[in-house]
Amino acid sequence: MKIFESLYIARKDWYFIGDGLGFTSGDLDEIQDKHHADKRMCLHEVLQRRIQQGQLTRSMLCTSLRGKFVNRDDVALEIEALDLSSAK
């Protein structure tokens, strides 16, 4: 949940974050159609699919945030600094 809260400000770039995580344009278009372009829900589904596939790491997420079209190093740095070991 902490990571998703940090990602909230980058939600408008969900499509490019998904692209950076290896989704095809067809997959991303399907997600967009399903959620009627609700950026928060689109981002949530992108992350949820990768988590369910066991293919999402903090490093991968931060790399996609630093991608050419997202360019959100500020969010990547915030996520890298999170202490995920404590339950709050």
Q: Which domains, from first to last, does the chain contain?
A: 2-81 (1.10.533)
pLDDT at 88: 47
Quote the pLDDT of residue 3: 84
- The pLDDT, as a whole number, for residue 60 is 94
Query: Which pLDDT score, from 0 to 100, does residue 6 have?
Result: 87
What is the Cα–Cα distance from 53 to 75, expressed in whole angstroms? Answer: 24
Nearest CA to 15 among 40, 2, 86? Answer: 40
User: Among all chains, which residue has been given the structure tokens 């360019």?
Assistant: 71
What are phi and psi for residue 36, nearest 5 degrees? 50, 40
For the chain, helix (H) and strand (E) counts, in that order, are 6, 0
Sequential pLDDT tens for the chain (88 residues)? 688 888 888 999 999 999 999 999 999 999 999 999 799 999 999 999 999 998 899 999 999 999 989 999 999 999 999 887 765 4
Give, as one character, the DSSP assignment of residue 45: H
User: What is the amino acid identity at position 60?
Assistant: M
